[in-house]
Structure 1
Amino acid sequence: MLTDRFGRAIEYLRLSVTDRCDLRCSYCLPKGFKGFEEPAQWLTFDEIERVASAFSRLGVQRLRLTGGEPLLRRGLSELAGRLSALPGLADLSLSTNATQLEKHAAALRRAGVSRLNVSLDSLRRDCVAQLTGSDSLPKALAGLAAAKDAGFDRIKINMVPVAGVNDGDIEAMAEFCIEHGFILRLIEAMPMGDSGRRTRGSELAPILERLSRRFGLEALCRNLGGGPARYWGSPDGRFTLGLITPISQHFCASCNRLRMSVDGTLYLCLGQEQSYPLRPLLRAGCSDAELEAAIRAAIELKPEKHDFNEAPAKLMRFMSQTGG
């Protein structure tokens, strides 16, 4: 098992397959952004599989495919099938905005993707267009319907409450999740890049109180995936709510994950700059032993915590550049 300097076991890797996205969510990417990696700098599927295999040998049991929007990468189901066959892998999941999901849901499920996280910030078409820069709600809903039909083990709806924009839509989203058997997760906006710093996120504690009164929520002990969310559930088991609170109640002490960007850079913390480039090693023909040694060296760079509260202007890169 990989363990960092602070005794945290690293067993979760998030793999970005593209930094491109077909949306421009106000808290993620600014309109007109063009600073994307050139495709020649992207890791190939063979290179991604090789990195994932190395992590698997070192004890990582969970992989998540992310972006940008990962379904913009051609042949993603093929890659998913290769990764799901890795020895020791317990969980392969995908983060998506669902605009392309209707076309790919069945193939992804056949390839071994078991869980989905879908970013959806409102059920109002005008609100979604305002937040994403695109009239994308019909495509997202069609994608969710296809995913439900495909039989994924668990589908989570990730919603970022933005003050004065969609924070009044949370109850409607909760009812939607109850109707379809989805899990609702509320995520605090993070100050990543200029767009993230301009977003005035809503406080989640009052929202939790509001939803607890309406649905009779009680804290749940079980973990629903390898991430940092804390969960509450209704007594009848029909509604599950997760909160991800990197700002108000950070979870750095239990952080179990790394991110790899599309160009093969390992990011050791979402809110810090420490990184380790793997692409030069891969393209220089490194051995498996050299690759594993590089991963262990990267783990030693993992910081104790982020500085989102202390230095919100510190981080210049956008979320899509890091990998979700």
Structure 2
Amino acid sequence: DISFIEEMPLGEISEHDRGLALCTSEEVRDIIRRHHELIPATEDSGGPARYFRMPDSEVRVGFISPHSHNFCSTCNRVRVTVEGRLLLCLGNEHSVDLRRVLRGHPVTDDKLQEAIIKAMDLKPERHHFTSNGDVQILRFMNMTGG
């Protein structure tokens, strides 16, 4: 399998202008369709990717499209940062400090489980990414985890 991800405005960069460089999932699909037929896959991955198959092949091509196909309403993902923060959304800074919970209750997992379940109520309904090129989240993915 291979997945294409629309660039998210995470971290400040100088290599290119995100607003000018945005390539949507639809544009990538159009390029692939020039050479291969793509059929929507029937299985659900449980994640944000939408998958397609090529006839007579086991290869799945996935597209994660935070700009052109906002998937927030079905997002089931959270991430733990290298500092032990549970991030509830890549496009927001909402987080829960799991390191503090673990250090405060090192013998049992009950408080950790409770903190994670409680955090799900704080998960934002959507991100606020734009394609104008502005940095919206200052942290890079290598600090985010996942």
**Is TM (by shorter chain) over 0.5?**
yes
Deviation at 1:210, TM superposition (A): 2.6
1:192 aligned counterpart, secondary structure: coil
Structure 2 residue aligned with 1:241, among 54, 61, 71?
61
Partner of 2:139: 317
Q: Per-residue displacement from partner, 1:116-160 (whole Å, max 9, x unpaired)?
A: xxxxxxxxxxxxxxxxxxxxxxxxxxxxxxxxxxxxxxxxxxxxx
In structure 2, C-alpha distance between the alignment counterparts of 1:198 and 1:191, rounded to whole Å: 11
- Percent sequence identity is 39
Secondary structure, aligned partner of 1:283: helix
1:77-109 deviation line (CA, Å, top 9, x unaligned): xxxxxxxxxxxxxxxxxxxxxxxxxxxxxxxxx
Unaligned runs of 5+ in 1: 1-182
Greater relative CO (CA pairs within 8 A, separation 6+): 2
Cα deviation digits, residues 46-85 of structure 1 (max 9, x gap): xxxxxxxxxxxxxxxxxxxxxxxxxxxxxxxxxxxxxxxx
Give the Cα separation in 2 of the matches to 1:218 and 1:296.
37
- Counterpart pick for 2:78 among 248, 251, 258: 258
Aligned residues: 141
2:7 to 176, 182, 189: 189
Are the counterparts in 2 of residues 233 and 241 from structure 1 also a CA contact under 8 Å? yes
Bigger CA radius of gyration: 1
- Structure 1: distance between partners of 2:136 and 2:61: 31
Gaps of 5+ in 2: none
Aligned-partner SS, 2:35? helix
Provide closer, same or farther for how the CA distance between residues 282 and 239 of structure 1 changes in structure 2, counting only shifts above 3 A: closer
Q: Secondary structure at the match of 1:282?
A: helix
Structure 1 segments, 4+ long, off by >6 Å, are none
C-alpha root-mean-square deviation of aligned residues, in Å?
Answer: 2.2
Sort the Cα spacing of 1:310 and 1:235 in 2 relative to 1 into closer, same or farther, 3 A: closer
Could you tell me how far 1:204 is from its partner in structure 2? 2.4
**Partner residue, 2:52:** 232
> Greater helix share, 1 or 2?
1
Give the AA of the match of 2:53. G
Matches of 1:310 and 1:213, distance apart in 2: 26
